[in-house]
Amino acid sequence: MTAHLERPAGPAPGWRQLFADLGPGYLANGLIGFIFSATGPVAIILAVGMHGGLTQAELASWVFGVFFVNGLITLAMSWRYRMPLGFAWTIPGTVLVGPALQHLSFAEVIGAFYATGVVVLLMGLSGWVKRFIQALPMPIVMGMVAGVFLRFGLDLVRALHSDIAIAGPMVIAFLLLSAVPAMGRRLPPIIGALLAGAAVMALFGRVGFDALGSLGVAQPVMQAPAWSLAAMVELVVPLAITVLVVQNGQGVAVLKSAGHEPPVNTIATVCGIGSLLAAAVGAVSTCLTGPTNALLTSSGERGRHYIGALGFGVLAMSFGLMAPMFTGLMLAAPAAFIMVLGGLAMLRVLQGAFLASFSGMFSLGALISFLVTVADIGLFNIGSAFWGLLAGVTVSWLLERQDFARAAKG
């Protein structure tokens, strides 16, 4: 059953190697990835859970599960494979759960979480996932990735329009440190932007400390599943597709574009295991996250990118353990602060996604994939990113067959 799992290319780094690879830029990438995960995505969980009638304890348990479990997996996988392998939870899957909670019990939804974990695990062990992802033309996949990541660039522009007092100094600091390499080597541009934003928030009293939760360790609630055919039909297939094709597809594409060779089948298998562990505390399925891995690989040497993932893993586990306090801390910052951080960190990633999509073969399919994804219209409880991939491949198969022939020849 494990014959299809990819083995690490070399030994795991020891303490001496870890300290040699440490650097402020890589830790900064891990911090930004964590800040991204701990703000907007957490707000989505809270909104879905509250509308679904979940208790405060159930919500805290959900937040604990998605951070602690996935942070632990990130640490283990990134250390063993010596590459950034940032795991989180499926945000589209979380959104998908919202309508289901209106007519299904939480126990039935958790039963679907368990079933999804089993499906993802078996798909990883079978080796089918890697073969499927390898069959997808990378420009079309990157068109989907560009469509998903476009909102980060747009949010940056919107933040400059809506809150110039916060966004302006952050952008100026980023541009100044990027334009003067000698300064940028001492202080990474994204950290300069973060510090500039923090200074402005402190100066003008823009942090809502009243939103902070009380100091305390999270107390996960072990959830018993209920098995419902309605829940299986509504949730399992869309969740599995979202994890294996959309989310993991994004993550794998981002890592490949940064020069890494992620272990696709092993990743899917670990996602299945993580999904089962997360379901035990009432949390949605695990995936290889696209945006966070994009942030982890946004700068620095390829061989040291894993350091950012280790930092992200430690912070995620800490967040999970101290979920009540940290959730309030992250949500206390102005929205523009988070929008600018994410937008600045994603600039080069978004540029790379466009270049990979439209600079060679399959450019028409990539364009269709991008447009359908940006349209953000889902069908049958499956988000637009999947339909973008499907539409892009279909159009390329009809109109760019010569590209398939050239790709097959190598």
- Per-residue DSSP letter, 55: -
User: pLDDT truncated to tens, each residue of the chain (410 aa)?
Assistant: 677 899 998 999 999 999 999 998 899 899 988 987 876 677 678 778 877 888 878 888 899 999 999 999 999 999 999 999 999 998 878 877 877 888 889 999 999 999 999 999 999 999 888 888 777 888 898 888 788 778 878 889 999 999 999 999 999 999 999 898 888 777 878 778 888 988 998 888 776 655 555 556 777 888 889 998 888 888 888 888 889 888 898 899 899 989 999 999 999 999 999 999 999 999 999 999 988 998 899 888 999 999 999 999 999 999 898 876 665 565 567 878 878 877 887 787 788 889 888 988 999 999 999 999 899 887 877 778 789 889 999 999 999 989 888 877 76
How would you label 211-228 residue by residue, b for 16+ Cβ within 10 Å and e otherwise?
A: ebbeeeebebbebebeeb
User: Phi-psi category of 263—alpha, beta or left, where left has phi over 0 and alpha has psi -120 to 50?
Assistant: beta
What ranges do the domains of the chain cover?
Answer: 15-134+164-243+260-349
pLDDT at 158: 92
The distance of Cα 212 from the centroid of its chain, to the nearest Å, equals 25
| DSSP percent split of the chain into helix, strand, coil, nearest 5 | 75, 0, 25
Q: How far apart are CA 400 and CA 234, in angstroms?
A: 35
For residue 314, give the nearest of 26, 91, 39 by alpha carbon.
Answer: 26
Residues 244/93, Cβ–Cβ less than 8 Å: no
DSSP three-state, residue 129: helix
Q: How far apart are CA 247 and CA 263, in angstroms?
A: 15
How would you label 130-143 residue by residue, b for 16+ Cβ within 10 Å and e otherwise?
A: beebeebbbbbbbb
What are the CA-CA distances from residue 405 to residues 27, 361, 364, 397, 401 (Å)?
43, 11, 16, 10, 6
Q: Residue 268: in which H helix or E strand, if any?
A: helix 264-280
Exposed, middle or buried, 342 (CB in 10 Å: 0-12/13-18/19+)?
A: buried
Rg (CA), the chain: 21
* Residue appearing with tokens 């439209």: 358
pLDDT at 369: 92
Q: How far apart are CA 275 and CA 279, in angstroms?
A: 6
pLDDT at 92: 77
pLDDT at 67: 95
Q: Crossing angle for the helix pair 189-204 and 164-179, nearest 10 degrees?
A: 150
Q: How far apart are CA 108 and CA 126, in angstroms?
A: 27
